[in-house]
Structure 1
């Protein structure tokens, strides 16, 4: 990696390989990009196969996939740029089909032989010479010139805390797999994101009663408008007509109104924020199921009272089980807090990847775009490979710090105050920035 105005790495560092941690959709993209740039690397995966969170019942113990999970990005917008998803797949792939695709991608580009499976990275620490020491579960310690963290950020559950105690069964959505344990029960799902709504729809078909509790609600959009996936409409307005993201999302919301009508009529409160200030919840079933009385919307939980739950509107319900679909903490168990951590969703990462305080440490896939993550992770991987191959130079430290501050200020202005949105990027602008860096051979601010 070269840095403008600074000397290259010492000879004993420059010849060291790069370490990739994780072999999910981010890790395999990084491996492919480094391989194409002929950058030597090792990739370690704690499980026995690739796929990360998309491998149902992954033996790495970190997958949040439930049996009925389908991705919320349509096929034509989901895949890597040089390996389109075949047309015989459905519009919205199941987790089984995503795994099929990732395995085909890894095999097509010869990535799998470069991955060491069933090997846990237990500790990563910087050395005085700017190299990195990586301790493996085998007991071996290896030295690298850079470390790419690609272990995902949707596996360490964040559970909401409410006053009182609950005597029924409770679980985070991370551990939810099927609706079978909830048949004939009164079930409360806390949250109104995509996973919460998917689980509510799954559970309500066999439960006695299903409630969904939301603190500030969400804009609920259908997956299809006039027979086309909703993200194709967004792509038309943002890519073909080149409208800003805020305009595109507002226009699509108005078109979707003709499909779903006023969500308030079905008991789903109208959010106080504009649709472009937060991610929408995509569901073709939630509104009809609310209309049929299969799912009942409740406000935020006020108190847990044994086998009852009271809500902020004064209502009270007998509940047998609670499923908390309340998001995830961003955790890196192999990095000690003094080395690197994400606090309240915030981290000083240049271009959302490079740890300013730890040169040589990169985080891949720690982004939350409006739209698909996989295509953006592919661009991130290309950027990283270009930097690590010395084809793209980094700017001076102060310019990188200015970029980090500017991004943080923009996020604070645009999105709601939530840890989730500190990871937000405008996909179109971000992609343009990274490709601009690569084409110029030097990263900008």
Structure 2
């Protein structure tokens, strides 16, 4: 079996294969495990910024058979999470099965259904089964705005801190998008001693959930899974209504959906900064014109930096078969979010935005794959 990638998804997949006695090679383009959580990863694929803390509590993110340390804070820094993943690999003896500094540059399925894998060092190997664990937060999706911009247009993937790669002090900054990364970066740059003006631009309003509610991590207050879904949603929405209120109360646009009808964003700071006037909201960008950014409400602002926290493309650079690639709208339908019908020895792991976290999702997927009969 071949596993591509040694991020959180790759290492839990490797652990499960070892547990079931299934031989495998795991290829990692970098010099260490951790993938997205390896700050300034030399493979260029990490989306970590210096101030990043996880948005779900440590209890929701931990592997079920490797508890997090009681000494860690509720919402660990990325460096602590990175160490947790390294400790996981050491604890289960996975390191010797990971081939570091080696990427997969081509993966082709032959007429016998076997996978021919070409490595970055030129070596070619054949495998019965291919597990794709290369992640989906590394290939930035940058909007193609009409016009030309004389300032800096960058993706949040390139953002490290308020001074790298661009010194944001005294700048007029637009952050596009209200996902978790967009909220984190806006909250950081919205501090008055940094950006001269901080604008958040988005096509629509979203529900922003605080990390804590009543002094407890919010994701520890979820309703039990045995409860009917309709009742769970009703109780959760009523609780938020009483304890959080409306987004309009913080000076943000009204979402066009009810809580949990779309994946919510989480932030411990954003609502306070928005309500304090440190952050201004604008609708979608319609065009760029020199130093001016135009918005859908007909207004325009002089801007120095636009940071696009606009998500990522799903990419598999090692595949040449168009049937194994997403369409132009980034859609990639899979059976059980894992398999292409008709191909019984190819598994895509961790391709979802689950609640609470991707780590738990990939861990459960790995159980299913390991239990299947293999060649």
TM interval, short-chain normalised:
over 0.9
User: What is residue 213 of structure 2 aligned with on the other side?
Assistant: 225
User: 1: distance between equivalents of 2:141 and 2:116?
Assistant: 30
Partner of 2:112: helix, strand, or coil? coil
On the 8 A contact 1:260/1:287 being kept in 2, the answer is no
**What is the correspondence of 1:213-362 to structure 2 with a 5 Å cutoff?**
213-234=201-222, 237-239=223-225, 242-244=227-229, 247-338=231-322, 340-343=324-327, 344-362=329-347
User: 1: distance between equivalents of 2:325 and 2:348?
Assistant: 11
Between stretches 351-360 and 141-150, larger displacement belongs to: 351-360
User: 2: distance between equivalents of 1:250 and 1:342?
Assistant: 35
Residue by residue, what CA displacement relative to the aligned partner does 1:203-235 show, whole Å, maximum 9, x if unpaired? 11211100000101101111111011111111x
Residue by residue, what CA displacement relative to the aligned partner does 1:254-282 show, whole Å, maximum 9, x if unpaired? 32344443321332111111222211111
Q: 1:80 aligns with which of 53, 63, 71?
A: 63
Answering whether residue 9 of structure 2 is matched by residue 26 of structure 1, we say yes
Q: 2:158 aligns with which of 151, 175, 178?
A: 175
User: What is residue 123 of structure 2 aligned with on the other side?
Assistant: 140
User: What is residue 98 of structure 1 aligned with on the other side?
Assistant: 81
Tell me the matched-pair count: 369
Q: 2:369 aligns with which of 381, 384, 396?
A: 384
Structure 1 residue ranges (4+ consecutive) displaced by more than 6 angstroms after TM superposition: none
On the 8 A contact 2:47/2:158 being kept in 1, the answer is yes
Structure 1: 5+ residue runs without aligned partners? 1-17, 391-445
User: 1: distance between equivalents of 2:330 and 2:293?
Assistant: 30
1:388–1:134: structure 2 CA closer, same or farther, 3 Å change rule?
Answer: farther
User: 1: distance between equivalents of 2:227 and 2:91?
Assistant: 33
1:328–1:176: structure 2 CA closer, same or farther, 3 Å change rule?
Answer: same
Partner of 1:34: helix, strand, or coil? helix
Partner of 1:276: helix, strand, or coil? coil
User: 2: distance between equivalents of 1:63 and 1:163?
Assistant: 29
Partner of 1:82: helix, strand, or coil? coil
Displacement of 1:292 in angstroms is 1.7
User: 2: distance between equivalents of 1:61 and 1:357?
Assistant: 34
**What CA RMSD, in Å, does the superposition of the two structures yield over aligned residues?**
1.5
Using structure 1 for the length normalisation, give the TM-score: 0.80
User: 1: distance between equivalents of 2:252 and 2:269?
Assistant: 13
Using structure 2 for the length normalisation, give the TM-score: 0.95
On the 8 A contact 1:125/1:339 being kept in 2, the answer is no
On the 8 A contact 1:250/1:276 being kept in 2, the answer is no
User: 1: distance between equivalents of 2:303 and 2:233?
Assistant: 37
Displacement of 1:253 in angstroms is 3.8
On the 8 A contact 1:211/1:295 being kept in 2, the answer is yes
User: 2: distance between equivalents of 1:292 and 1:199?
Assistant: 16
Q: 1:61 aligns with which of 36, 44, 48?
A: 44
User: 2: distance between equivalents of 1:61 and 1:131?
Assistant: 30
Structure with a larger share of its residues in helix: 1
User: 2: distance between equivalents of 1:167 and 1:337?
Assistant: 39
User: 1: distance between equivalents of 2:235 and 2:282?
Assistant: 28
1:80–1:388: structure 2 CA closer, same or farther, 3 Å change rule?
Answer: farther
1:273–1:341: structure 2 CA closer, same or farther, 3 Å change rule?
Answer: same
User: What is residue 151 of structure 1 aligned with on the other side?
Assistant: 134
Answering whether residue 146 of structure 2 is matched by residue 163 of structure 1, we say yes
On the 8 A contact 2:4/2:132 being kept in 1, the answer is yes
Displacement of 1:172 in angstroms is 0.4
Displacement of 1:339 in angstroms is 5.0
1:388–1:52: structure 2 CA closer, same or farther, 3 Å change rule?
Answer: farther
